[in-house]
Amino acid sequence: QLRLAESGGGLVQPGGSLRLSCAVSGFTVDPSVVGWFRLAPGKEREGVSCIRSRDDSTYYADSVKGRFTISRNSAKNTVYLQMDGLKPEDTAIYYCAAPRGYVTSHLLPYEYDYWGQGTQVTVSS
């Protein structure tokens, strides 16, 4: 059973930075992709970014493009989300997730089967 565990959330002022980590374990074959999603109060779960294992291709939501960077360390089985230029509207619970197989749209939550417990990110002065 694939397991994912997020860490690195916290409280940060607008314009600040945070780096989230997602530790992936329990797999015999690398998941095809690992994604980051977020859930803000009163909103639907939103795809933020993902990275494909085969070639490290990356995908970003328009709302975070140019501010967030996804990367992975294969040796540590960890995927990172570097978040710079944070805004109050980035406040949410951030989850990492992986599918059983392959995804077609990369940032649609329903294509992902395994989820971490989430980490809270709050951007406020």
In tens, the pLDDT along 16-69 reads 999 999 999 988 788 899 999 999 999 999 999 999 998 999 999 999 999 999
Tell me what pLDDT residue 30 has. Answer: 84
CA distance 113 to 9: 22
Tell me what pLDDT residue 29 has. Answer: 81
For strands 18-25 and 3-7, give the pairing: antiparallel
- Kindly state the tokens that stand for 18: 């945070």
Which regions of the chain does DSSP assign to beta strands (E)? 3-7, 10-12, 18-25, 33-39, 46-52, 58-60, 68-73, 78-83, 92-98, 114-115, 119-123
Tell me what pLDDT residue 89 has. Answer: 96
